[in-house]
Amino acid sequence: MKIDGIIRGWYEKNRRDLPWRHTGDPYKIWLSEIILQQTRVQQGLNYYLDFIKVFPDVNSLALASEDKVLKQWQGLGYYSRARNLHRAAKDVVEQMEGEIPRTYDGLIKLKGVGNYTASAIASICFGEPRAVVDGNVSRVIARLYGVEEPINSTMGIKSIAFLAHELLDKDDPGNHNQAIMEFGALHCVPHSPDCSTCPLFHPCEARRTGRVDQLPVKIPKRKPVEQWMYFYIIICNGETLFSKRGTDGIWSSLYQFPVVESNLPLSEEEMLGTKLDQLIRGADYEGEEERVPTGISERVPPGKSERVPTGISERVSTGKSERVPMDKSEGVSTGKSDGVSTGKSDRVPTGISERVPTGIRSLWPDKLTIGKISDPIRHQLTHRTIHARFIHVETGTWPDPLPAGWIKISLEQVDDFPVPRLINRYMEVVKI
């Protein structure tokens, strides 16, 4: 039996019962493939079902506001996927009379649709003989044929693509593609696969040469950048403040509490004094030109060694901390994460209110009272490690006007805004 036939036979016996396998609707296949690009099936399934309920077709998605789409996507991470999907849906409705392209060449032109997604939709929905290549497929093929080039190198990508096309069942490309992806996801797994029960035991080059744990070869990813973020949850008469992030960088177009961003940890004096002063004034580090205060980035002088302020543990509660649960959406680490105190409020040392800089008092009409301060929370993204702290602040009066870029919202409306998963998880644990 040919290799593609062996994989198909395995698939018929072992495939998971997933909703997108019971439809030929290109919109639903498109959505499922976008969700599963960076999300495991177990987590993505509920998001898919919920998304379909709210946006059952391309027209309903195209007519929705970006905020509503991002809110529905909240928790999946990699929000550019949602923005691109939304933009592409608008293009389909406005420029293609609501008809999703039926060919690879048409699909590849849609915003956010690359080779993998276009091949999946074209083969599954329209029978076009296009081989899909994702991480699961690359692993199966690299082991099966003993591909020694790194699968994320230019030569490796070309080699895998060529072999995937050679292996493709041209008469039934949709089922073939789903079968090999499923085989990689469930059987030919990254670590310690069960080769003794593998239907490809005999033709597998990696098994024959004892290199199953060495293949596929990958070029190591760069070390994530360290970043510190200090979110100020300012409460006044049942309202709080949000700002909207720009269109560049992480979490673009999402909402957040006013934030100070730094590539070094801040001291207590900076966190509760000078940086808070700069944030309210809308001025950047060391008096640089004024800007909208969605955050303040502190630059590290060349060659300056990283410093960690002493006494951080003394500034927060030493009581029992409840851990914020993390998963791998948007690259979040599933390992141990730093705690968020949910018990007795973490009080700043007595007299901190009097140490709020005089510049803040001149800008703010009422006293700012520093309340609870969270423990550091580690939030792992693909290319950066974020260390976040949430500082709870209370005041009796809002300044008029508010600093540029800030908006007042009722505490009851907070859940209506799309926010990064880091903030959403914190609010799930610590009610504001």
Say if residue 305 is exposed, middle or buried (CB neighbours under 10 Å; 0-12, 13-18, 19+). exposed
The residues, ordered by sequence, that sit 6+ positions from 87 with a Cβ below 8 Å of its Cβ are 111, 112
Distance CA 392, CA 368 (A): 10
Please, what's the b/e burial string for 234-244 (b: 16 or more CB within 10 A of its CB; e: otherwise)?
A: bbbeebbbbbb
* Of 424 and 330, more confident: 424
Average pLDDT over residues 187-200: 96
pLDDT at 297 over 70: no
In this prediction, residue 296 carries a pLDDT of 43
CATH architecture of 3-208: Orthogonal Bundle (1.10)
Catalytic residue of the set 12, 33, 94, 298: 33
Model pLDDT, residue 38: 82
Q: Are 388 and 377 in contact (CB under 8 A)?
A: yes
Q: What is the mean predicted confidence (pLDDT) over 304-328?
A: 36
Provide the whole-model pTM.
0.77
Of the candidate CATH numbers 3.40.50.2300, 3.30.1540.20, 3.90.79.10, 3.30.1280.10, the domain formed by 225-429 belongs to 3.90.79.10
- The amino acid sitting at 279 is L
Look at residue 363 in the predicted model and tell me its pLDDT.
57
pLDDT of 355 strictly over 70: no
**Least confident range of 151-165, 210-224, 337-351, 375-389:** 337-351
Distance between CA atoms of 315 and 311, rounded to whole angstroms? 7
- Domain parsing of the chain, residue ranges: 3-208, 225-429
Residue 289 catalytic? no
Q: For residue 344, what pLDDT band results from cuts at 50, 70 and 90?
A: very low
Looking at residue 199, the DSSP 8-state letter turns out to be T
